[in-house]
Each structure stands twice: as structure tokens, then as C-alpha cells.
Amino acid sequence: MSDIDQDIEGHDQDAVTPGTGVRAANDPRGAHILSTERNVHELLDAMVDGVFIASDFRFVFCNHAMADLVGVTPERFIGQPFSTFVAAEFLGIWTERFEKRISGVRDVPRRYEVRLLNGRARSEIWVELIATPIRFSNQPSVLGIVRDISDRKTAEQVIWAQAHLDVVTRLPNRFLLTRQLEDALENARQRAESLALLFIDLDEFKQINDVYGHDHGDKVLAQLAAQLQACIGERELLARFGGDEFNVLCPGAGSDAAIEQIGERLLKAINSPFQLGGKRLQVRASIGAARFPQDADNAEDLLRHADQAMYDAKRAGSNKLRLFHRELDAANRRKGAITSGLDRALREDELFFLYQPIVNIQTMSIDKAEALIRWRDLDGTIISPADFIPVAEDTGRIVEIGNHMLGVALDFGLACRRELAESFQVTVNISAVQLSDIDSKFEAILLQRARENRHRAPICIELTESTFLDPRPHVKERLRLLQEVGYAVAIDDFGTGYSALSYLRALDVDYVKIDRAFICNLARGNKDFHILKAIVMLAHEIGARVIAEGIETDRQFALVRMSGCDFAQGYHFSRPLMPDALVETVQRFNRGRRDDKPG
């Protein structure tokens, strides 16, 4: 040990006087205390950290702590090449830095982390190494001080996993996906490669959570993740974006055919049945895809465009794949503008009703009118309900809008009864979202008004076919209660949804409204005319009356009358009108019909 000309901490050479051993820091008696080789060995063996000396690409000295770290005795450690105790993935850098140190190369990192092999436990341990060039037995050597940092590394790995991996599936989470997507995009730019990102959303997965509970839902997600992982390629990355959404990153995939092939693989894996609590379940999904560089050149836009394509797939029906196209982005920007505008429209009272008269065919008088919602934007533009109602339903704003406008229709209906006739009725559409929303207060509004008016409800509620088929008990109970207190109920646009005459018998409705699609092609004796007559006959059998809408010509009205319909509505009689104009029109129309009768 008298040849060691630096101390074990790697301080300057004047810290040790050659031939006297290692002295204690700041202790003038240190040279005497540690003057013998025996004292130096005892000091090194008392250290908690491992110490070794390496020469000629081998270990030539160690203390007991070093030997314990790698699970051997000091005798078995000394003389072994680096490969015996250095993990294979670190052997190259270990050897390279050793060679530079003994060659006198400066600026070689002195402190770094590596993994060593523990022969006894047949495992690897993380250590921090502090390495210093020395001379030992007149040979250029390296002194190493090694500290076990396995516990710290384990803690770091736990923290890293919590930040980067999904707890349920152990897949990369949204944060890690974004980082890896950015790296993949950079590689694609450098290699002039294409890249695709697929966005997967499980269809109606909420029902699994609602029926079986979130714990079982998590088990399905974990099984699904395993099945998806098994079907993707080596270069592809699967991640859980959150909730019931997953992503697949596909470097090199750019053609429509390649993406469609990947999508088919994913859908097949998703559709494979699951076993959950002894029951066999099948999951379906909607997938959207966006490509680099065609659709986006950065991670944020690529994710957003893949998400837009996924919603396009969802609108097309379950188990579909759709590719992003520019019209989707324009439509979503329009949707965003409408969404923010709707909040203002409610505050600033920009929403209003026009009313279209409905003619009683038997009496040829107007005794009903349909309330048709419109939106007057800040610049005076009238926005069609076809543009903003779907957005309101998607965002949940339809509930607040519906409740507000329901009050407007009720007030106008009462005004019409005072000014026109006690039997006058305003029909108003109720969204299926509004009816099915448990927190919606619309039935409370209607019930309060019914009590105030002694159950003489001034409005008729129009609902679509799909609403009547909603199996949820609270939906059916709401309809029953409203009819019980005097509100009439109409099925709107009949024939455009399920189009089954047979189930009309099961519906408890007061009116059936025939969609304009049947009216526009109506001709005596054609298919639409026979369907119309069948609907009228069946509606009358169950005690319902029939309203035909979309009538624009004398010929259409004559055929509707011939079919047995009870009411007619359309531009043939009047366009939708402002409230005051409607009252005037009804008064004039009905007075004119009375005047036409013989005295």
C-alpha cells in the first residue's frame, strides 16, 4: 500500500506522503497512526462503502465491503476481469473510462452510476462509483469507491412509474406518450419517414362500469391492454391516454392501406370476448387516425386530429376506423365557436322561437303551432338549429337551453289561449338528452305550470322515436307523469328512425308527426302514399291523431287529406312566424274560414 500516492477519497497527491500510508485528515499524528500497511487494511475494511483497485483490466485489491456487494470473498474478487462483476450493458463504458484514466486522459467523468453483478443472489445491484487514477505496485491503476444505491434506484423507479405509467394497465400514460411521440416525430423528420397515430375509444364502456363496477371495469381494461399489446408490431407503441381511451403510435405507417390494416388488427383484438365474473363480455371501439406529415407536423396537432377522426368514426357507428381529413378540423373549429357562443346566447337572450301554424284538416282552422328555435348571432345572422342543437346536446348545454326555452313556450302558449282560443296548443321539441338527464329540471317546470293552470296544459311535447324506446325507468316515468297531469305527447319525425309500424301500437302518444321525407315524394298510389295511409290507420287504432309536416303544394295537401291525416303543416300554409305575426295570422286565417261558411 506504500505505493498508493492518493487517498481513497481521490484528494490531491500532497494528502499522502509516499511510503507513509494514508494519514487522517487534519490530524498531525495521522502519519504515525496509519504508518503501517496493517492499519491501512483495517481502515479500509471498516468502511461501509466498497473500495477496489484495478490494474491491467482486472481487480487487484478490494475491501470486505466491496466483496460483500458482489457476493464473494475478497480472495474470489481479486484477480477477476471486469466482465465478472460489471453488468454487460455497462461493461463497455466501464472499460473505456478505465483505459482513459490509466492513459492520463483528463476530463473523464469521475462519478457515475452502473450496475454490478451479485453472484450470490444472482441479481444486479445499482452502485455509484467514484473513480480516481493512481499508481499501485508501480502500475497505472484506478482506485474506486462504490456505494450501493439500489434502494434509491428502486424509489426513483417507483416515482418514475407513477409519473409515466398507467396504474391499471402498466402502459405508458399520456405524459410519456407525448414525449415518445415527440421523439418519434423528430426521428421521422430526420429519416423522411411517415408516421401514424391511432386514437381508440371504447364504445359504451361506461355501461360496464355502471353494471359491474369500476373494479371489474379496470380488469377489462387490463385484459384489453394485454390483447392489444400482443397484436401490435415491434416498432409500434401502445399507450393509455386516459379513461377508456388508448393510442397506438406507428412509425413508418403513412399509407391509407397500412393504417387500415393496423386498424383491423386492433379492432379484432378489441372484439375478442372477455371473461368477467363468470360472464362473457364483448367490447367494441371507434378508432381515428392522423398521419405525419400529411395531417400534422407536431405532437399536439397529431393527437388532436386523431381524436377528431375518432369522433368521426363514432358518429359513423360502432367498430369503425376513420382517417383524419381537413374538413373535420374546420367542423371542430366551428363547433368550438358555437359552443362558446351558446353560453353568450343564453346570457344575452339571443335564442328565440318562431312559430309555424298547424292546420286542422277537418275544420280548416289553425288551432296549433310548432315552436321552432332560432339563434340570432351578434351580427344579426340567424343560425339554424341544425347547426347548434347537436353541439348543445354533445356539450350538455341542451339541458339549460331546453329548460329556458320551455318556459318561453309555456308563456306563449298561455298567451295564445287568452288571445285566440282556449284549446289552442303550442308544440315544442324536447331533446332526448334533456329527457334522459336525471338532473334536468324540465319536468318540475312542466308540473308547476300544470298545477297553476288546473291541468290545462297549453303545450304538446314532441319527442323522437328513439326517446320512446329508451329502456331507462326514469325516462318512462317522466313521460307517464307528464301525460297524467294533462300534457299531450307527440312522436316527431315518425318513419325516419326505427320505421317499424308494429311498435307504434306500444307507444302511448297523442299525436304522430309524419316526417317531410314521406311528403316530398308523395304521389297517388305510390309506395310513400301507401305507407302514409298505413301509419294513419294504425295511429287512429291506438287513439292518436296524425300531423303531416313539410307540405308545400296543393297536390301534396290533397294527397295528405286523402290519406286521412288530421293536421297539416308546411310552407303551403305559412312560414314560421314571430309571435305577434302568428297571432295575427291565426286570427285572419280562422276568421276567413268562418266568413267562407254559408250564413
402: left (phi over 0), alpha (psi -120 to 50) or beta: alpha
The C-alpha cell 474506486 sits at 144
129, with CB counted inside 10 A (0-12, 13-18, 19+), is buried
The DSSP bridge pattern shows strands 351-360 and 567-569 to be: antiparallel
- Eight-class DSSP state of 518: H
pLDDT digits (tens, 9 = 90+) for 371-396: 999 999 888 889 899 989 989 988 88
398-419 and 326-347 are packed helices; what angle lies between their axes, rounded to 10 degrees? 50
- Pairwise CA distance, residues 389 & 405, whole Å: 13
Asked whether 410 and 458 are in contact (CB, 8 A), the reply is yes
- Pairwise CA distance, residues 267 & 492, whole Å: 36
How many whole angstroms from its chain centre is CA 515? 35
Cα distances from 393 to residues 106, 204, 317, 335, 582, in angstroms, run 69, 17, 18, 12, 29
Q: Which residues pair with 128 in a beta bridge?
A: 113, 147
Backbone angles phi, psi at 504, to 5 degrees: -60, -30
Tens digits of pLDDT across the chain (599 residues): 434 434 333 333 333 333 333 434 445 544 454 455 666 677 787 788 999 999 999 999 999 999 999 999 999 999 999 999 999 999 999 999 999 999 999 889 999 999 999 977 688 999 999 999 999 989 999 999 999 999 999 898 889 888 899 999 999 999 999 999 999 999 999 999 999 999 999 998 888 888 888 888 899 999 999 999 999 988 999 999 999 999 999 999 988 899 999 999 999 999 988 877 778 888 999 999 999 999 999 999 999 999 999 999 998 888 999 999 888 878 778 888 888 899 899 889 899 999 999 999 999 999 999 999 999 988 888 989 998 998 998 888 998 898 899 889 999 999 999 999 989 999 999 888 888 777 677 777 787 777 776 656 788 989 887 777 666 777 777 878 887 878 888 988 776 555 455 556 666 789 999 888 888 888 888 888 888 898 899 889 889 999 999 999 999 999 999 999 999 999 999 999 999 999 999 999 998 765 555 44
- Can you read off the three cell numbers belonging to residue 277? 365474473
Task: Give the list of residues 6+ apart from residue 88 with CB closer than 8 angstroms, or none.
Answer: none
Q: What is the pTM of this model?
A: 0.59
Cα distances from 220 to residues 171, 208, 242, 277, in angstroms, run 14, 9, 14, 11
The DSSP bridge pattern shows strands 545-549 and 567-569 to be: parallel
20 CB neighbour count, 10 Å cutoff: 14
- Pairwise CA distance, residues 124 & 87, whole Å: 7
DSSP 81-119: BHHHHB-HHHHHHHHHHHHHHHTT-SS--SEEEEEEEET
- Pairwise CA distance, residues 249 & 232, whole Å: 10
- Pairwise CA distance, residues 273 & 283, whole Å: 7
Which H or E run contains 26? Answer: none
Peptide bond between residue 293 and the one before it cis (omega within 30 degrees of 0)? yes
Please give the pLDDT value at position 506.
Answer: 62
- Eight-class DSSP state of 172: B
- For the chain, helix (H) and strand (E) counts, in that order, are 23, 21
- Pairwise CA distance, residues 218 & 335, whole Å: 32
Asked whether 208 and 220 are in contact (CB, 8 A), the reply is yes
Beta strands in 237-350 (DSSP E): 237-242, 245-251, 274-276, 279-281, 285-292, 321-323
Backbone angles phi, psi at 551, to 5 degrees: -80, 125
Beta strands in 63-213 (DSSP E): 111-118, 123-136, 139-148, 195-202
DSSP 540-590: HHTT-EEEEE---SHHHHHHHHHHT-SEEESTTT---B-HHHHHHHHHHHH
- Pairwise CA distance, residues 225 & 244, whole Å: 11
Report the sign of the C-alpha dihedral through residues 73, 76, 80, 86, in that order: negative
The DSSP bridge pattern shows strands 195-202 and 139-148 to be: unpaired
- Can you read off the three cell numbers belonging to residue 85? 462483476
Asked whether 226 and 272 are in contact (CB, 8 A), the reply is no
Please give the pLDDT value at position 199.
Answer: 97
Q: Nearest to residue 390, comparing CAs of 405, 382, 401?
A: 401
- Can you read off the three cell numbers belonging to residue 343? 353560453
- Pairwise CA distance, residues 225 & 222, whole Å: 5
- Pairwise CA distance, residues 418 & 587, whole Å: 13
Backbone angles phi, psi at 410, to 5 degrees: -65, -45
For 196, the 3-state DSSP assignment is strand
Please give the pLDDT value at position 214.
Answer: 86
Considering only CA atoms, give the Rg of the chain.
40
Cα distances from 249 to residues 161, 206, 220, 237, in angstroms, run 20, 25, 22, 5
Q: Nearest to residue 567, comparing CAs of 429, 428, 354, 366?
A: 366
